[in-house]
């Protein structure tokens, strides 16, 4: 044998040779020759690859440019497009416009970090499509594209507008004819005679937000005046108004009616899912037409709202199912008119599955799924290091270092594009068991099955060879070497015990790891539970005993109908017999019908388990009859029908019907001729059981109790009482008569409440003074007559709601899901609480959340918010009469979400009196908050409290537990909150715990 090969072999097997015989050593040389004969080792490849010390990463966008409109008249003289990426080492930025490089040496451009600042923007030179490129030595990524546009709103022409003369009763339109503008997001109002007197829209007058025209269904004398179209552009915060148009109504002796004529019509609309859609429909006519909306052949969307005048239909947060034909109908007493158009709902691309940072062994294959949904269906294209790379599905075969870099998957349809960015790193590592050695001791039961794992860290994937002692192992009927290197042994015998070694090698190096397989006696059920048949209330015993290896601990687990019995929660009916060794006997005490079923006893050790089952039958009284009905009700008799109930394993012997009068507590067998009665049906077998229902046929004779009330909203009188139970209804059409009057008044006002279960009536009267005393009383009635009135109670009408709004409202953002709101109290003394309303910018205000706090509070915390979202907040003072006016609305943004990836714990090593826990750095995604540190909780296993540490490192030292097991939890921390937790268990160094650790 070549001396160099012998030397290499000795280095490779040094950990094993210390305790081997000469025969075993010769066998290992044989294995070394086998490996070298089958696998040739190539020299170290050149180029960059991922090693254990490689902690850098490619650029990850944290801020990207967005579409920007620059007002042509802006006094700022510059515009900024944002671009910021996180990377190690720090990234370098470039900008491109209309696919051409931007010359950053020009005085017109400057860079602030990655942001591009354009000085004195010019429409001819600077309007276009921009994106930025961020790069370091790991690769380059391209940002989303953003359009820079220039907004303007020209003044109206200076020419005077001619007067308009219209006969009274006729419809008319005043044209706005807005000036040239960009963008097309104008809002319109009409001035009457002078600023700021604006036309108020109602059923007769309408201003279209589509073209700005003013429509009047029929002109009245009061419409006389000078009108000007007032146009605002929210994008550039500019408004202009037209020359005044004189409107002169011409008097008519009698105005002539004419039918509805729809003049404002909506067209087919293409809307994006999640948008708000507005449809306009207005008709001329005399009388003023009524307008109705519907969705043809389908119900109207639940988020649809119709304006007070009926001319505007708004659909908020439109969804795909809201697509369809919509119709408005205008009608007056002279005729009707209809108009229809279709709303088509499409969708922006949305990820179903997208790429994430990935590490791949050199020489392996990669399928990188990138799937998006949308309408139309998006197409997929790829960028690598910022340049076009591929279209459609991406598969890489036999990857090399040249495949490493920054990849971007782009899903796009006609409505836009979404980007998913990820870094592909190529792993090239010599095999090592340092992070994941084989278990030193593996337990397996005789006759059973065991899997011995061999999971070194290596790239490319290594080849595996196994040996037991000096015997090389190959696949057979009992032995299987898995593709991932694990060794499976079936039908285990005593002779399978011994020392097993896993040898691994790739073109970067080689390694091995060794463990000992110990064979234990199998666990077997020797006394199985048997079927039992008992009666409700009796006890039952389920026996169970097992044989097992004396070196192991045995545990018995009982399950009922497949669910494990929790003896701590079910200790009333289920108990164990702890008096017997190696016995898991189950005692079922005071058995009920619900305890009937299959019971399974499982005897288990940490190595194997064995189970046996038996059925328990519980016999008891029958269940209630079903479908009980009353038929043919007469003055002195009724007919009853019912369906058979469950017999619960005991045959039903007979049915008995009993009755009793209202004035008696004794039940008697049913007889005919009784006028007022309760009818009681029960089914009887030898156990006995009851089910009852009631029938009443007289006027009520009991008055409601607990009559009171007071409080409520402005101008309200709230009256309450305790509803009568069903047994006092005595007939059909049951309800209440509520009577009330001012304390010193003469005449009682009476109202009827037909809901028999209600105990509340609210009287509204705008003329009612706050805190006025009233006398109230209540009585019951049914189809046979009225009952007696209750005692008269004195209550007070509602007080006024607060008239002041809280001031100095402020918001502090705490995390991605929490904000704190604070305010100053109002001066009024009638404040009982404060209400905080908040809603996300993508929701409508009507769906705002509300939080109520006591009047002495000055702040409140809002939780469960969405990350990276704009919210609006306002505060009101409230009392029992309602809430006052809102404070100024505050706008705020929650922080980005905390990291979604847990820290990957890579080692837990004992060093002296402490454990050193190490984990990988968590890289936040582009839509997540940057990791600022890590929180580590050190707690006893089974408890929630412990000692909390904070660190900016990727490792921590914790003391070795004195006894039992402890859990170390690690999670990333960010401005957006805490990320997902990873955990590892560590044990006390006593013998028992060491044994448990080895078994695991």
pLDDT in tens, 625-662: 776 677 766 555 677 777 777 777 777 777 777 766 55
Instruction: Report the alpha-carbon distance of residue 570 to residue 597 in Å, rounded.
Output: 16
Q: What pLDDT score was predicted for residue 821?
A: 93
Q: What is the pLDDT of residue 993?
A: 41
Burial (CB < 10 A; 0-12, 13-18, 19+), residue 425, is buried
Query: Please, which pLDDT band fits residue 38 given cuts at 50, 70 and 90?
Result: very low
pLDDT confidence band for 693 (50 / 70 / 90): very low
Q: What is the pLDDT of residues 924-967, one digit of tens each?
A: 887 888 888 899 999 888 888 888 888 888 888 888 887 788 89
Per-residue model confidence (pLDDT) at position 76: 82
Statement: residue 8 has pLDDT above 70: no
Query: What is the per-residue pLDDT for 635?
Result: 52
C-alpha 901, offset from chain centre: 18
Q: Is 895 helix (H, G, I), strand (E, B) or coil?
A: coil
The CA distance from 952 to 974, in Å, is: 11
Q: How far apart are CA 212 and CA 280, in angstroms?
A: 12
Q: What three-state secondary structure class fits 667? A: coil
Contacts of 608 (CB under 8 A, 6+ apart): 445, 448, 522, 523
Q: Which residues contact 401 (CB under 8 A, 6 or more apart)?
A: 45, 47, 48, 49, 362, 426, 428
Report the distance separating Cα 831 and Cα 804, nearest Å: 10
Q: Could you tell me which CATH number the domain at 708-797 has?
A: 2.60.40.10
Write down the CATH number for the domain with range 354-423: 2.60.40.10
- Which CATH class for the 429-520 domain? mainly beta
Residue 45 neighbours by CB under 8 Å, 6+ apart = 362, 401, 428
pLDDT at res. 733: 87
Q: What is the pLDDT of residue 749?
A: 92
Q: Of 847, 805, 811, which is closest to residue 825 (Cα–Cα)?
A: 805
Check residue 636 and give its pLDDT.
Answer: 57
Band of pLDDT at residue 797, cut at 50, 70 and 90? confident
Span 448-464, average pLDDT: 89
Listed residue (145, 142, 241) closest to 189, CA to CA: 241
Residue 14 has φ and ψ, to the nearest 5°, of: -55, -45
Taking the C-alpha atoms of residue 371 and residue 355, their distance in angstroms, rounded to an integer, is: 9
Residue 369 to residue 393: CA distance in whole angstroms: 7
At the fourth CATH level, which superfamily is domain 57-151? Immunoglobulins (2.60.40.10)
Helix (H, G, I), strand (E, B) or coil at 594: helix
Output the pLDDT for position 665: 66
Q: State pLDDT tens for residues 247-279.
A: 888 888 777 888 989 989 999 999 998 889 999
Q: Is-contact 639 670, C-beta < 8 A?
A: no
What would the CATH number be for the domain defined by 260-347? 2.60.40.10
Q: Which of 31-45, 531-545, 681-695, 800-814 has the lowest mean pLDDT?
A: 31-45
Chain length of the chain: 1000
- pTM confidence score: 0.51
Q: Confidence class of residue 989 from pLDDT cuts 50, 70 and 90? A: low
Least confident of 11-20, 79-88, 89-98, 304-313: 11-20
Where exactly are the structural domains of the chain?
A: 57-151, 163-256, 260-347, 354-423, 429-520, 524-619, 626-693, 708-797, 807-893
The whole-angstrom separation of Cα 837 and Cα 871 is: 10
The domain defined by 626-693 folds into Immunoglobulin-like (2.60.40)
Predicted pLDDT of residue 975: 87
CATH classification number, 524-619, choose in 3.40.50.2000, 3.30.1490.20, 2.60.40.1120, 2.60.40.10: 2.60.40.10
Residue carrying structure tokens 């507005």: 278
916/908 Cα distance (integer angstroms): 6
Task: Tell me whether domains 524-619 and 626-693 share a fold.
Answer: yes
Q: What are phi and psi of 5, to 5 degrees?
A: -65, -40
What is the pLDDT at residue 613? 92
Q: What is the pLDDT of residue 54?
A: 59
pLDDT at 931: 87
CB 474 within 8 A of CB 464: no
CATH class given for the domain over 807-893: mainly beta
pLDDT of residue 132: 94
Residue 999's SS3 state is helix
Task: Report pLDDT digits (tens) over 847-890.
Answer: 789 899 888 888 999 988 988 899 999 999 988 777 889 999 99
CB contact at 8 A, 994 and 950: no
pLDDT tens for each residue of 583-641: 788 999 999 988 999 999 999 998 899 999 999 999 888 877 776 677 766 555 677 77
Of 791, 793, 778, 788, which is closest to residue 737 (Cα–Cα)? 778
Q: Encoding tokens for residue 585?
A: 């006997």
Average pLDDT, the chain: 83
- Domain 163-256 of CATH type 2.60.40.10: yes
């Amino acid at each position: 044998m070549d001396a160099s090969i012998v030397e290499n072999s000795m280095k490779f097997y040094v950990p094993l040779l210390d305790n081997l015989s000469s025969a075993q050593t010769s066998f290992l040389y044989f294995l070394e020759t086998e490996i070298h004969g089958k696998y040739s080792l190539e020299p170290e490849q050149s180029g960059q690859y991922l090693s254990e010390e490689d902690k850098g990463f490619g650029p990850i966008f944290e801020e990207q440019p967005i579409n920007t409109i620059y007002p042509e008249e802006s006094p700022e003289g510059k515009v900024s497009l944002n671009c910021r990426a996180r990377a190690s080492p720090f990234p370098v930025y470039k900008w491109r416009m209309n696919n051409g490089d931007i010359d950053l040496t020009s005085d017109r451009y400057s860079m602030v970090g990655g942001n591009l600042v354009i000085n004195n923007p010019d429409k001819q030179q600077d309007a276009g499509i921009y994106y930025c490129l961020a790069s370091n030595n790991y690769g380059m990524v391209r940002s989303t594209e953003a359009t820079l546009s220039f907004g303007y709103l020209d003044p109206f022409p200076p020419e005077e507008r001619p007067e308009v003369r219209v006969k009274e009763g006729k419809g008319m339109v005043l044209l706005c004819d807005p000036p040239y503008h960009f963008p097309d997001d104008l809002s319109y109002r009409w001035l009457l005679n002078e600023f700021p007197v604006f036309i108020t829209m109602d059923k007769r007058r309408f201003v279209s937000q589509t073209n700005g025209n003013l429509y009047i269904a029929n002109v009245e004398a009061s419409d006389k005046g000078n009108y000007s179209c007032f146009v605002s552009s929210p994008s550039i915060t500019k408004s202009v108004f037209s020359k005044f148009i004189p409107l002169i109504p011409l008097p008519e002796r009698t105005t002539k009616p004419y039918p509805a004529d729809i003049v404002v019509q909506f067209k087919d609309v293409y809307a994006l899912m999640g948008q708000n859609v507005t449809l306009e429909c207005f008709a001329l006519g005399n009388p003023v037409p009524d307008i109705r909306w519907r969705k043809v052949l389908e119900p109207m969307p639940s988020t649809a709202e119709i304006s007070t005048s009926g001319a505007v239909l708004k659909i908020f947060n439109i969804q795909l199912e809201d697509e369809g034909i919509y119709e408005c109908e205008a009608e007056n007493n002279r005729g009707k008119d209809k108009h229809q158009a279709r709303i088509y709902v499409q969708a922006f691309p949305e990820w179903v599955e997208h790429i994430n940072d990935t590490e791949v062994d050199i020489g392996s294959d990669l399928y990188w799924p990138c799937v998006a949904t949308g309408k139309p269906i998006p197409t997929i294209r790829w960028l690598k290091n910022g340049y076009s790379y591929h279209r459609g599905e991406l598969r890489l075969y036999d990857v090399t270092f040249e495949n490493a870099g920054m990849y971007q998957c782009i899903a796009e349809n006609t409505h836009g594009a979404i980007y998913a960015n990820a870094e592909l790193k190529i792993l090239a590592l010599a095999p090592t068991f340092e992070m994941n050695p084989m278990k030193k001791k593996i337990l397996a039961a005789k006759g059973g099955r065991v899997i011995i794992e061999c999971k070194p860290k290596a790239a490319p994937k290594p080849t595996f060879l196994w040996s037991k002692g000096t015997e090389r192992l190959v696949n057979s009927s009992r032995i299987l070497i898995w593709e991932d290197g694990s060794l499976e042994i079936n039908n285990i015998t005593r002779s399978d015990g011994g020392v097993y070694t896993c040898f691994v090698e790739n073109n970067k190096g080689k390694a091995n790891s060794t463990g000992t397989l110990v064979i234990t006696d199998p666990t077997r059920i020797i006394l199985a539970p048997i079927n039992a048949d008992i009666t409700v209330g009796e006890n039952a015993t389920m026996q169970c005993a097992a044989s097992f290896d004396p070196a192991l601990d045995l545990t018995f687990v009982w399950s009922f109908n497949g669910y494990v019995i929790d003896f701590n929660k079910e200790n009333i009916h289920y108990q164990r017999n702890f008096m017997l060794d190696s016995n898991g006997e189950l005692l079922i005490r005071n058995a009920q019908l619900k305890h009937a079923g299959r019971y399974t006893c499982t005897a288990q050790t940490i190595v194997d388990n064995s189970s046996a089952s038996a059925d328990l039958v519980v016999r008891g009284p029958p269940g209630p009859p079903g479908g009980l009905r009353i038929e043919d009700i007469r003055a002195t008799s009724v007919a009853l029908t019912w369906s058979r109930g469950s017999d619960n394993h005991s045959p039903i012997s007979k049915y008995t019907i009993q009755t009793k009068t209202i004035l008696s507590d004794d039940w008697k067998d049913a007889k005919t001729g009784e006028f007022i009665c309760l009818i009681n049906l029960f089914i009887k077998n030898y156990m006995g059981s009851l089910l009852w229902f009631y029938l009443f046929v007289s006027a009520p004779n009991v008055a409601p109790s607990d009559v009171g009330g007071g409080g409520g909203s402005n101008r309200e009188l709230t009256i309450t009482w305790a509803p009568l139970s069903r047994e006092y209804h005595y007939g059909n059409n049951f309800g209440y008569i509520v009577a009330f009057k001012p304390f010193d008044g003469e005449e009682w006002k009476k109202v009827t409440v037909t809901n028999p279960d209600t105990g509340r009536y609210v009287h509204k009267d705008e003329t009612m003074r706050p805190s006025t005393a009233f006398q109230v009383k209540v009585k019951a009635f049914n189809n046979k007559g009225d009952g007696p009135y209750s005692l008269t109670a004195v209550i007070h009408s509602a007080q006024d709601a607060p008239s002041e709004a809280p001031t100095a409202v402020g918001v502090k953002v705490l995390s991605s899901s929490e904000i704190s709101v604070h305010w100053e109290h109002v001066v009024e003394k009638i404040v009982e609480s404060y209400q905080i309303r908040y809603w996300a910018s993508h929701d409508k205000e009507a769906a705002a959340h509300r939080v109520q706090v006591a009047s002495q509070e000055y702040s409140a915390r809002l939780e469960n918010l969405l990350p990276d979202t704009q919210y609006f907040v306002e505060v009101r003072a409230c009392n029992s009469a309602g809430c006052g006016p809102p404070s100024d609305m505050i706008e705020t943004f929650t922080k980005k979400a905390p990291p979604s990836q847990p820290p990957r714990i890579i080692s837990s090593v004992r060093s002296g009196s402490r454990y050193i826990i190490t984990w990988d750095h968590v890289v936040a995604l582009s839509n997540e908050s940057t990791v600022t540190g890590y929180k580590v909780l050190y707690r006893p296993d089974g408890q929630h409290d412990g000692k909390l540490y904070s660190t900016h490192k990727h490792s921590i030292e914790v003391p070795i537990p004195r006894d039992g097991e402890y859990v170390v939890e690690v999670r990333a921390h960010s401005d957006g909150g805490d990320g997902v937790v990873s955990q590892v268990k560590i044990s006390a160094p006593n013998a028992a715990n060491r044994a448990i650790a080895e078994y695991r």
